[in-house]
């Protein structure tokens, strides 16, 4: 997107400096703008970068994107996928359809990362915000209680900006993370992967149109996923250091994919090779500095989770920054960003790494055993639902309490049960009294509730059995913050 002809100068002070206008930085900026938090968003590049990156938005991320008012336009711009499948050639081992998930969005939204970023930016601009493009973060020095960051502008001139908080949403090679000295331990497995976004014809309809499908056969693994706009994405172990050609993609499909002789790759729209890294930052914050998105965690793209996790990092951090900056919560609330998000990232890296290892088994006997285990698991009660909920990220929450059907503080609250109210706290009541907005609190009538529920701005349960008068709940809000050990 071309920068506008009159670009406002970079401010010299701000409450929150966000480095990186990828999905995490844009989601954070749009959230802060909606909450009225003063911030500055910068990105080193002049425009949204091309390339094969995220191709899908999961239901949980859509639930958050709805809170910031951008889900509908993304849904309009994308296509709906049904879910995931595991296949051995034509044999279905496991089918994980999203159809019955308890969410307003029971589908995988197929949409390119570039389209997602373009819509997030457009939304941010409609709210009156902007991205300062062509501005590269170089480093920072402490400037109590915040930081003084050095930014190289498009004209090459160095500028300083004082920020109370600095958030590194600057991707896997994060300069913010490097500047804080936070370690990024993990692995970089040897295996090189080929990725190609293609147009493919198959009169027999052998190429999956609705489900992201992992083909796991004696010949090896191949991912085939429908993309927005009638394209398909193919991912498999690279056959050479060069990006795959149409012939190589066709061969991978014939040898590993659906057993069919009518598959024709008509166009390779983009192709490249990539190496997976599996890393989680040691800490997600250091004093006034925070890390979100790929700056904090990176892993195998299998399962389409990375960008989605970054958007939810943003959702977790945004309301906490707002609460602290407006005096609603003590500064210690910000420590819960690491406490809540680090375990989620560590669990995700472990899960995707385990799946990638299973998918890439080279010994045919082990591969056959794996496939038999997947097929048996698919028939066991609850297993497919468990996998579907996990991939859709609807199982994620901030509680270790097992689900016994009772309210659990820290668990996700489905918007089907308690409607989302933007970035307000939500008080759900059985009676229709007080319905409406009361400062940061929105009251909603939810018939049949056993006791009043208080839901955080990012959609997790803060408390149950609270008072039913909004003024009392507002007075007691600080006792329902996640840092409060008595909750």
Can you give the C-alpha Rg of the chain in angstroms?
23
Candidates 14, 103, 300, 308: give the one binding ligand FAD (CB under 6 A). Answer: 308
- Select 248 or 452, whichever has its Cβ closest to ligand FAD: 248
Using DSSP's 3-state secondary structure scheme, residue 386 falls into: helix
- Is 63 a binder of ligand FAD (CB under 6 A)? no
Measure the CA–CA gap between 298 and 310, rounded to whole angstroms: 10
Closest CB to ligand FAD among residues 95, 178 = 178
Interface with ligand FAD includes 23 (CB under 6 A)?
yes
Rounded distance, CA 218 to CA 257, Å?
Answer: 11
What kind and span of H or E run contains 461?
A: strand 461-464
* Residue 136 in the binding site for ligand FAD (CB under 6 A): yes
**What are the backbone dihedrals phi and psi of residue 351, each rounded to the nearest 5 degrees, phi first?**
-65, -50
Q: Are 175 and 137 in contact (CB under 8 A)?
A: yes
- From the list 169, 216, 252, 318, which residue makes contact with ligand FAD (rule: CB under 6 A)? 169
Residue 43 engages ligand FAD in binding (rule: CB under 6 A): yes
325 in Cβ contact with 41 (< 8 Å): no
Which part of the chain contacts ligand FAD (CB under 6 A), choosing from 104-112, 167-175, 248-256, 399-407? 167-175
The single residue among 78, 304, 315, 367 that binds ligand FAD, judged by CB under 6 A, is 304
Bridge partners (DSSP) of residue 348 are none
113 scored as a contact of ligand FAD (CB under 6 A)? yes
Closest CA to 293 of 315, 276, 320: 315
Site string for ligand FAD, 231-270 (x = CB under 6 A): ----------------------------------------
Applying CB under 6 A, the span of 4-12, 48-56, 91-99, 369-377 interacting with ligand FAD comes to 48-56
Separation between Cα atoms, residue 185 and residue 297, nearest integer Å: 10
Cα 347 to Cα 356: distance, rounded to the nearest angstrom: 14
315 binds ligand FAD (CB under 6 A): no
Kindly tell me the burial class for residue 311, based on how many C-beta atoms sit within 10 Å of its own C-beta (0-12, 13-18, 19 or more): buried
329 or 394: CB nearest ligand FAD: 394
258, 293, 452, 457: residue in contact with ligand FAD (rule CB under 6 A)? 293
Residue in 41, 54, 359, 423 binding ligand FAD, rule: CB under 6 A = 54
Tokens (6 digits) for 52: 């094969």
For ligand FAD, the closer of residues 131 and 200 by Cβ is 131
Cα–Cα distance measured from residue 412 to residue 398, given in angstroms and rounded to the nearest whole number: 8
In terms of CB distance, is 275 or 357 closer to ligand FAD?
275
Residue 305 in the binding site for ligand FAD (CB under 6 A): yes
Residues 48/124, Cβ–Cβ less than 8 Å: no
Binding residue for ligand FAD, selected from 68, 121, 149, 175, defined by CB under 6 A: 175
Which of 42/93 has CB closer to ligand FAD?
Answer: 42
Indicate the residue among 177 and 370 with the shorter CB distance to ligand FAD: 177
Q: Is 301 in the site for ligand FAD (CB under 6 A)?
A: yes
Contacts (CB under 6 A) with ligand FAD, residues 143-162: none
325 CB burial (10 A radius; 0-12, 13-18, 19+): buried
Q: Specify the stretch interacting with ligand FAD by CB under 6 A; choose among 68-76, 293-301, 431-439, 465-473.
A: 293-301
Nearest-angstrom CA–CA distance, 274 and 334: 35
* In contact, 164 and 143? CB cutoff 8 Å: no
The nearer residue to ligand FAD, 154 or 343, going by C-beta atoms, is 154
Written as six digits, the tokens of 65 are 């994107």
Reported in sequence order, the residue ranges of 209-322 that DSSP labels E, i.e. its strands, are: 211-217, 220-226, 232-237, 263-275, 278-280, 285-286, 289-291, 297-298
Piece of the chain touching ligand FAD by CB under 6 A; list 28-36, 215-223, 307-315, 360-368: 307-315
Interface of this chain with ligand FAD, residues 1 to 20, rule: CB under 6 A: 19-20
**Cα 271 from Cα 420, distance rounded (Å):** 39
Q: Using the rule CB under 6 A, is 171 a contact of ligand FAD?
A: yes
To ligand FAD, the closest distance from the beta carbon of 203 in angstroms equals 28
Residues making contact with ligand FAD (CB under 6 A): 19-25, 42-45, 52-56, 113, 136-137, 169-171, 175, 195, 274, 293-294, 301, 304-308, 310
């Amino acid at each position: 997107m071309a920068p506008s002809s009159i670009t406002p100068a970079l401010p010299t002070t701000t409450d929150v400096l966000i480095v990186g206008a990828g999905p995490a930085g844009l989601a954070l900026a749009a959230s802060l703008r909606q909450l009225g938090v003063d911030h500055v968003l910068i990105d080193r590049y002049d425009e949204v970068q091309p390339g094969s990156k995220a191709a899908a938005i999961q239901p949980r991320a859509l639930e958050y994107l709805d809170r910031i008012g951008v889900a509908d336009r993304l849904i309009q711009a994308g296509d709906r996928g049904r879910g995931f499948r595991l296949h051995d050639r034509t044999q279905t081992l496991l089918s994980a359809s999203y159809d019955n998930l308890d969410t307003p969005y029971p589908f995988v939204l197929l949409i390119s990362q570039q389209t997602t970023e373009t819509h997030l930016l457009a939304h941010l601009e409609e709210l009156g915000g902007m991205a300062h493009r062509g501005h590269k973060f170089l480093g920072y020095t402490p400037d109590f209680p915040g930081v003084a960051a050095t930014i190289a502008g498009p004209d090459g001139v160095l500028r300083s900006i004082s920020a109370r908080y600095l958030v590194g949403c600057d991707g896997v090679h994060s300069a913010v993370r490097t500047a804080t000295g936070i370690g990024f331990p993990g692995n970089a497995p040897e295996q090189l992967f080929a990725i190609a976004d293609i147009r493919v014809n198959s009169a027999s309809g052998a190429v999956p149109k609705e489900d992201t499908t992992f083909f796991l056969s004696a010949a090896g693994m191949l991912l085939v996923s429908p993309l927005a706009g009638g394209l398909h994405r193919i991912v498999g172990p690279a056959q050479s250091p060069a990006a795959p050609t149409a012939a190589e993609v066709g061969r991978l499909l014939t040898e590993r994919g659906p057993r069919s002789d009518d598959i024709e790759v008509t166009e390779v729209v983009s192709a490249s090779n990539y190496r997976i890294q599996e890393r989680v930052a040691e800490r997600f914050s250091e004093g006034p500095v925070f890390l979100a998105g790929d700056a904090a965690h990176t892993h195998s793209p299998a399962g389409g989770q990375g960008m989605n996790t970054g958007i939810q990092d943003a959702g977790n951090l945004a309301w906490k920054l707002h609460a602290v900056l407006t005096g609603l919560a003590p500064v210690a609330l910000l420590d819960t960003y690491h406490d809540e998000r680090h375990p989620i990232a560590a669990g995700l890296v472990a899960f995707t790494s385990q799946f990638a290892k299973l998918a890439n088994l080279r010994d045919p006997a082990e591969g056959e055993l794996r496939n038999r285990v997947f097929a048996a698991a698919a028939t066991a009660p609850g297993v497919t639902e468990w996998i579907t909920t996990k991939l859709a990220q609807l199982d994620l929450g901030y509680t270790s309490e097992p689900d016994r059907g009772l309210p659990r503080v820290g668990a996700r609250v489905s918007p089907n049960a308690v409607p989302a109210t933007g970035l307000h706290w939500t008080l759900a009541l059985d009676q229709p009294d007080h319905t409406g907005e009361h400062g940061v609190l929105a009251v909603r009538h939810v018939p049949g509730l056993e006791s009043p529920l208080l839901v955080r701005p990012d959609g997790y349960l803060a408390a149950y059995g609270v008072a039913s008068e909004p003024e009392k709940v507002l007075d007691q809000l600080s006792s329902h913050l996640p840092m409060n050990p008595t909750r």
